[in-house]
């Protein structure tokens, strides 16, 4: 029987993974090793009971008594805290879903790779923060990373049987997010509620705001470079409001392979779960005649400064990805708590990059986990200072 673990089980990607596992037979078809969550212990405990997990772990240590109580008599072990989540990644599982949000997903993912596991990677932040280390760890330990981000799953599928050397360019599609059609001068006043009204995808709160600001796409550009080993110049972004084409690969003979499907994360998750096979998945089938048209437009860099910043990050290399991601996470926290505006997020990230990049060792891809966590920490401190200064100016 195949064994699985889900890190970030209580989130949007985690729920979709759980849904697919249950539909495929649940505890009768899979042995569930570890399920982890942040604070939602009621849901975590429910999932752990249904799948008869070996262990359930919540990140927030203050939630441990509630988790223990919810799982009393179930035979499921319980634990809490970041270290316990990382330890859970040492437990043997054939297939591990990495769906914690933010840089907190990095260490458990790395630990799973060190044991040679197959890592289904939704947590793009770990590739942005530590791409070279993550990919090298996978190579050193014979582990496999399968992309779960819909764009990267699309590219992965378009590349099946192809030589990466024959690729001319990779075109990432972007919905443009909730504020896509707003006048640019109105963006500074956008509220959290408005930025959360995504037209096509149902996702966690943080990635939905990142879609509106295109920080999500900026992370994905870096993720593409790290995962597929192409140059930054080979990665393009196009706005495609319908979210039907999930990405495209252009080859040197002029052919372009596109991946189409309904916007439902259960497709890329299911593809990673069944890989290298394909199995029926409970996603809507496209009716092309009803769709009738698919539209595209070039992104405006004044509207989406994140797309400009990710190019600077890729040019700087080294620890720039860790700084970029950490500063973005802090800027997003401050937008969510109402202290800075929507367009201020990019300003905070730009300011942090400008202050930190000259200080940090750059232009090398040889980095240790300690270097990365140090850069992440420093970036959070500097970004918090930049956000506080920005809030004071408002």
Place of tokens 């990710």: 310
Least Å from the CB of residue 270 to ligand NDP: 13
For residue 69, the SS3 value is helix
Which stretches of the chain are DSSP H helices?
A: 12-23, 41-51, 64-70, 82-88, 106-114, 124-140, 150-158, 192-195, 205-213, 215-228, 266-274, 288-291, 305-316, 320-336, 344-356, 369-393
> Could you tell me which of 186, 365, 214, 227 has the C-alpha nearest to residue 300?
214
**Binding residue for ligand NDP (CB under 6 A) from 79, 84, 143, 207?**
207
8 binds ligand NDP (CB under 6 A): yes
Place of tokens 């990495």: 98
For residue 82, the SS3 value is helix
**Binding residue for ligand NDP (CB under 6 A) from 104, 174, 221, 327?**
104
Q: Which residues of 182-207 are buried (b: 16+ CB within 10 A; e: fewer)?
A: beeeebeebeeeebbebebbebbebb
**Binding residue for ligand NDP (CB under 6 A) from 110, 203, 235, 340?**
203
- Stretch binding ligand NDP (CB under 6 A), from 94-102, 109-117, 288-296, 386-394: 94-102
Cα-based distances in Å from 294 to 151, 153, 242, 264, 287? 17, 20, 7, 18, 12
38 binds ligand NDP (CB under 6 A): yes
371 binds ligand NDP (CB under 6 A): no
**Binding residue for ligand NDP (CB under 6 A) from 123, 137, 211, 247?**
123
380 binds ligand NDP (CB under 6 A): no
Least Å from the CB of residue 181 to ligand NDP: 22
129 binds ligand NDP (CB under 6 A): no
Whose CB is nearest to ligand NDP?
11
Please give the order of strands across the beta sheet that includes 256-260.
Answer: 235-239, 167-174, 245-251, 256-260
The number of CA neighbours under 13 Å toward the Cβ of 282 is: 8
**Binding residue for ligand NDP (CB under 6 A) from 4, 119, 265, 330?**
265
Least Å from the CB of residue 43 to ligand NDP: 7
263 binds ligand NDP (CB under 6 A): no
**Binding residue for ligand NDP (CB under 6 A) from 117, 198, 206, 246?**
206
Decide if 71 contacts 97 (C-beta within 8 A): no
5 binds ligand NDP (CB under 6 A): no
- Stretch binding ligand NDP (CB under 6 A), from 8-16, 65-73, 240-248, 320-328: 8-16
Going by C-beta distance under 8 Å and a sequence separation of 6 or more, which residues neighbour residue 308?
A: 301
Decide if 174 contacts 248 (C-beta within 8 A): no
Least Å from the CB of residue 301 to ligand NDP: 22
Least Å from the CB of residue 292 to ligand NDP: 26
**Binding residue for ligand NDP (CB under 6 A) from 80, 122, 212, 356?**
122
Shorter beta-carbon distance to ligand NDP: residue 261 or 351: 261
**Binding residue for ligand NDP (CB under 6 A) from 101, 332, 349, 386?**
101
195 binds ligand NDP (CB under 6 A): no
Token code pair at residue 310: 């990710």
37 binds ligand NDP (CB under 6 A): yes
Q: Which residues contact ligand NDP by CB under 6 A?
A: 8-14, 37-40, 59, 85, 99-101, 104, 122-125, 149, 201, 203-204, 206-207, 265
């Amino acid at each position: 029987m195949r064994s699985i673990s889900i890190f970030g089980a209580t989130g949007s990607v985690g729920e979709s993974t759980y849904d697919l596992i249950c539909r495929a037979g649940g505890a009768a078809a899979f042995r569930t090793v570890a399920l982890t969550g942040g604070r939602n212990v009621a849901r975590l405990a429910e999932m752990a009971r249904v799948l008869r997990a070996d262990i359930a772990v919540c990140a927030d240590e203050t939630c441990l008594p509630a988790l223990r109580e919810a799982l009393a008599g179930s035979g499921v072990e319980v634990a809490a805290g970041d270290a316990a989540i990382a330890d859970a990644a040492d437990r043997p599982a054939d297939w591990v879903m990495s769906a914690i949000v933010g840089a907190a997903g990095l260490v458990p993912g790395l630990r799973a790779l060190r044991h040679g596991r197959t890592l289904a990677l939704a947590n793009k932040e770990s590739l942005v923060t530590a791409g070279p280390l993550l990919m090298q760890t996978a190579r050193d330990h014979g582990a496999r990373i399968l992309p779960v981000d819909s764009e990267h799953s699309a590219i992965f599928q378009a590349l099946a049987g192809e030589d990466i050397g024959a690729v001319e360019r990779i075109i990432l599609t972007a919905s443009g997010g909730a504020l896509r059609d707003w006048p640019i001068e109105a963006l500074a006043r956008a509220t959290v509620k408005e930025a959360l009204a995504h037209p096509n995808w149902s996702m966690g709160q943080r990635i939905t705001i990142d879609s509106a600001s295109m920080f999500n796409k900026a992370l994905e550009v870096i993720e593409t470079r790290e995962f597929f080993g192409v140059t930054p110049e080979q990665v393009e972004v196009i706005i495609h409001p319908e979210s039907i084409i999930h990405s495209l690969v252009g080859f040197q003979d002029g052919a372009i392979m596109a991946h189409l499907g309904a916007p439902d994360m259960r497709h890329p998750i299911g593809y990673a779960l069944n890989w290298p096979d394909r199995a029926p998945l409970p996603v809507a089938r496209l009716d092309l005649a009803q769709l009738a048209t698919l539209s595209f437009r070039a992104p405006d860099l004044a509207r989406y400064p994140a797309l400009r910043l990710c190019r600077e990050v890729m040019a700087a290399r080294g620890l720039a990805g860790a700084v970029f991601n950490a500063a973005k996470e802090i800027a997003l926290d401050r937008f969510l708590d109402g202290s800075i505006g929507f367009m201020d997020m990019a300003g905070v990230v730009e300011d942090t990059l400008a202050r930190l990049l000259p200080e940090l060792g750059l232009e090398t891809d040889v980095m240790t986990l300690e270097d990365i966590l140090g850069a992440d920490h420093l970036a959070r401190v500097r970004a918090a200072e930049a956000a506080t200064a920005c809030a004071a100016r408002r």
